[in-house]
Each structure stands twice: as structure tokens, then as C-alpha cells.
Amino acid sequence: MTPAVLAGVDGSPESTAAAHWAAEEALRRGAPLRLLHAWPWLTDGRAAFADPEDLPVAAQRMLAAVAEDVQARHPGLTVRTDVVLDAAVDGMVAAAEDAGLLVLGSRGLGGFTGLLLGSVSMAVAARAAVPVVVVRPTEPTEPAEAADTAADAPGEAPAVPEVVVGVDATAPDDAVLDFAFREAALRGARIRAVHGWDLPPAFAVVGFLPSGVEMAQLQAAEEKSLAAALAAHRERHPEVEVVQQVRLGAARTLVEDSAGAGLVVVGRRRRPLDLGPRLGRVAHAVLHHAQAPVAVVPHD
């Protein structure tokens, strides 16, 4: 049986949006959907006034309401609801061990424009053993006729559906690329493979920028490395169109390319337990600033 798609639900509009995104993903995968709430963290105010013994009932009612809404929009989808008696982060991480994917809403606090990620989503994305997708609040889309004529330049809405994936061409990871290519195939989308590179340390040491000829040579070398990193995956997925993009600065490029993308995919290296879970610099920046759902894929 295909592993379930798991969605964390806490009573907020953001988590309800994540549940609907997860439902669409479950249908694409032919998987059941599991809606999960880690008791007692209800966010609609009921937890402050309810008797503690009634909170699990309130959580079940909240989940049932979300499940009913999801099934009304996605008839035929198998939906299961569960309440786990654990803190939000620990409960989600433990439940995700048996899932194929974990989907969370984005609930940033504090009033900083563009910082869209809450602490729970950040912590879960840094610890979960499976890919975690953080779903952005829904934004109004441009009219279809405008979208049909949109250019494909970086930072602009693409004319065809895209899955954007960050690739470290010097040390590509198969888990990240496998996930991105599979998602593109499921969606009938193309891959935009983004490799951001930095100037060699030698230039920082001597304190000057490379000439135009040197920059062209460096750019060509990076493009060659990216092509080599993608070769095996292109062979396995000949139906997926691939656009290669090589630019200085990985995080900024991924954030710019997230506009109009269906999904942005980044990697997160698993760390020894004694060092604790941590997101890398690029994943951290993309999670906070991207304009599309972001998938964080753990890899060795």
C-alpha cells in the first residue's frame, strides 16, 4: 500500500490550506490522507476555556470538520483523522515515520514581511525522517490569458507548471533529485534545476573580482557540473522536461524562481544526534521567503 500523506492540522486557516494541498498530493500519489492534530494545541481559542478533559473531544471535532471539508472537495479520497497526545513537534515527527510525506501550514509570527515560517514547521522540517512540505497562504493568481503569455525569465511566473529544485552540482544527492523528478512527473510539470555557485575562495583572498573571461569560464564549468548531476535522472524520466539554471547565489535564485512554481524542492542533510537537527543556510532562507510550497527532503 502506498504510504499515507500526512497533514498537520491545528485549527488555523493555514493548516486547513495545507490539508487541502495534501489531499491533492494524496490523489496524485494514489495514497490515503491522514489528518493529525497534536493535542492540546488548538489555535482557535477553545483550549483557553474548555475543561482539560474535553480538549481531546474538541480536537476530534476540529479534525472531523476539516476532514468533511476536504472530502467534499476531493470525493473518493480516503481520509483518516487522529489525535496524538504529544507536543506538536514531537508528535508530528513521530507520526511521520510511517508516512510518505508530511505537509504543514506556514504560520509565521512577528510582523516581519516575508518571514512566513512558524517555529513548529521549522522544527519539524529539521527533524522529520521523510520529506516535509510547508504550504504558503494562497495568493490571488493572475488571469489565465495573462498567465499564458507570461515569460519564463527567472523570478517571473512560468508559462508551464514547474517544480524548482536546488542542486549542489559539486555534491548532488539522489534523494533530493528523485523526489523532485517524481513530483514533476506526477504533476505533468517541468523541472527547473537551479545550481547556485560562489566564487572560489582564492578571489576573496586576493581581493579582486574575476575578469569577464574568467567569469565565463567559471560559469561554463558550473553548467557542465550541473548537466552531469542531472544526467542519470533525465534518463530515468525522459517524459520530464528539464531547464538548467546556473547563477551566483543559491538561496536568492531559488526564492526568485519560486514565483509561480508549483513546488520548490531543497535538501536537508541528516546530522548526528549529538549535533542536533538543523536546516542548512539555503533551506532556511527558502523556507522563510519562497512564494510557493517548499519541500525539504532529508538526505545523508
Q: What's the pLDDT score for residue 200?
A: 62
Predicted model pTM: 0.84
DSSP string, 118-180: -HHHHHHHHH-SS-EEEEPPP-PPPPHHHHHT---STTS--SS-EEEEE--TTS--HHHHHHH
Per the structure, how many domains does the chain have? 2
Of the residues 74, 104, 138, which one is the last residue of a structural domain?
138
* Domain that includes residue 282, residue range: 142-300
Residue type, 42: L
Contact between 290 and 256 (Cβ < 8 Å): no
57 and 4 co-located in one domain: yes
As a whole number of angstroms, the distance between CA 128 and CA 102 comes to 8
Of 194, 211, 195, the C-alpha closest to 203 is: 211
Of the residues 92, 118, 138, which one is the last residue of a structural domain?
138
Q: Exposed (0-12), middle (13-18) or buried (19+): which is 21, by Cβ within 10 Å?
A: buried
Q: What's the pLDDT score for residue 10?
A: 86
Peptide bond into 75 cis (omega under 30): no
Of 298, 261, 99, 283, the C-alpha closest to 183 is: 261
36 and 169 co-located in one domain: no
As a whole number of angstroms, the distance between CA 274 and CA 39 comes to 28
State the CATH number of the domain containing residue 75: 3.40.50.620
Q: What's the pLDDT score for residue 276?
A: 52
85 and 153 co-located in one domain: no
- Cα torsion angle, 131, 176, 162, 195, sign: positive
φ, ψ of residue 192 to 5 degrees: the values are -110, 105
Of 297, 146, 165, the C-alpha closest to 243 is: 165
Q: What's the pLDDT score for residue 88?
A: 84
114 and 151 co-located in one domain: no
φ, ψ of residue 267 to 5 degrees: the values are -100, 160
Helix (H, G, I), strand (E, B) or coil at 106: coil
36 and 179 co-located in one domain: no
165 and 289 co-located in one domain: yes
Helix (H, G, I), strand (E, B) or coil at 244: strand
98 and 205 co-located in one domain: no
DSSP string, 20-57: HHHHHHHHHHT--EEEEEEET---SSGGGTS-GGGHHH
Q: What's the pLDDT score for residue 166?
A: 95
95 and 194 co-located in one domain: no
State the CATH number of the domain containing residue 188: 3.40.50.12370
149 and 220 co-located in one domain: yes
φ, ψ of residue 149 to 5 degrees: the values are -105, 5
181 and 114 co-located in one domain: no
As a whole number of angstroms, the distance between CA 296 and CA 271 comes to 14
Of the residues 138, 155, 171, which one is the last residue of a structural domain?
138
pLDDT per residue of the chain (300 residues) written in tens, 0 to 9: 789 999 999 888 888 999 999 999 999 999 999 999 987 554 455 555 555 566 678 888 889 999 999 999 999 899 999 988 888 888 899 999 999 999 999 864 333 333 345 678 888 999 999 999 999 766 433 433 333 333 455 556 567 799 999 999 888 899 999 999 999 999 999 999 999 877 666 555 555 666 777 778 888 999 999 999 999 999 999 999 999 999 877 788 899 999 989 999 999 988 655 445 578 888 988 998 899 999 999 998
132 and 190 co-located in one domain: no
Euclidean distance between the first and the last CA atom of the chain, given in angstroms as a whole number: 26
240 and 262 co-located in one domain: yes
Half-sphere exposure for 224 (CA within 13 Å, toward CB): 6
Strand-strand pairing, 263-269 and 162-166: parallel
